[in-house]
Amino acid sequence: MKSTNEKSTMKATSVKERLTSRMFLLLALSSISVLLLITVFIFLQGTPLIAKVGLINFIFGMTWAPSQGEFGIFPMIVGSLSVTLGATVLGVPIGLCCSVFLTEFAPKWMRTFFRPAIQLLAGIPSVVYGFWGLLFIVPAIRTYLGGPGLSMLAGSIILAIMILPTIISIAEVSILALPPSYKEGALALGLTHWQAIYRLMIPAAKSGIAAAVILGIGRAIGETMAVIMVLGNAVALPQSILDPVRTLTTNIGIEMGYASGDHQHALFATGIVLFVAIMLLNASAQFVTRRK
């Protein structure tokens, strides 16, 4: 039989556990509530303009002239996709190679140094990246490749650097999570170290690597401050990677300060398009990760 003191201790422990679980539940619900409030606010502000202009005209319209009642965001959608694609093409191979190097080739002292340094990249304010790009990347493009320098290429380079921490960290964790028997079995069958990596380990970790790429794309498509400074912000379809472009995020950042009426509602409607795109990307990353 349990003593009275033991029963009281167990009862007190049970009460503490229930209070702790409910506290964490409350915190989780508060986070979800904030997201829900933001979502409702954006949709309430932007939906009337989409209904007024028409979804097709809003998304595929070629003219953005709020003073004349023209609210077409297609050039900015193309700009966002182009810059994000450029950042993906530049950043993904570098990030994947860095993650493979850190997991398979780097000595311990080097991993100890590089991992915090890579994580530190994620903590640098985006305006610092933009300022650095304005001082170094834009003049280099203008000097060696021509054009104004403020261009889609400059934005892609900046975003490629900014998404590296996300891609490297998640891809590295995915490779490290593989059972050691995979690599040992490959080496025992006569494969070289490099063959074991690119024929077995990378394909085995492809779900985590794909999730890293998707999250990196979401990070790139949602960036604002850095790309405002280096894109040139011209509302036109780009003809080459050296042309200035404007993305959806930079359009909101530039014009929200003085917008009013339908103009302001159009910017919120642009936010709806961004919100849906990023939510789809995050959902895709979750699906790819859980599928494996």
Residues 6+ apart with CB under 8 A from 150: 138, 230, 231, 232, 233, 244
pLDDT tens-digit profile, the chain (292 residues): 455 666 666 666 677 777 888 888 888 788 788 888 988 999 999 999 999 999 999 999 999 999 888 999 999 999 999 999 999 999 999 999 999 999 988 888 888 888 888 888 888 888 999 999 999 999 999 999 988 889 999 999 999 999 999 999 999 999 998 888 888 888 888 888 888 888 889 988 888 898 899 888 888 988 888 999 999 888 889 899 999 999 999 999 999 888 888 999 999 999 999 989 888 887 877 777 676 5
* Helical spans, DSSP H, in 54-73: 55-60
The reported pLDDT for the residue numbered 123 is 85
The reported pLDDT for the residue numbered 291 is 62
The reported pLDDT for the residue numbered 151 is 92
In whole angstroms, give the CA distance from residue 95 to residue 88. Answer: 10
Q: What is the CA radius of gyration of the chain?
A: 24
The reported pLDDT for the residue numbered 1 is 47
What is the reported pTM? 0.86
The reported pLDDT for the residue numbered 7 is 60
Residues 6+ apart with CB under 8 A from 72: 57, 58, 60, 61, 62, 63, 64
Burial bucket for residue 29 (CB in 10 Å: 0-12, 13-18, 19+): exposed
Unique residue bearing structure tokens 């059972």: 179
The rounded Cα 70 to chain-centroid distance in angstroms is 30
User: 262-291 and 206-221 are packed helices; what angle lies between their axes, rounded to 10 degrees?
Assistant: 170
Residues 6+ apart with CB under 8 A from 122: 165, 166
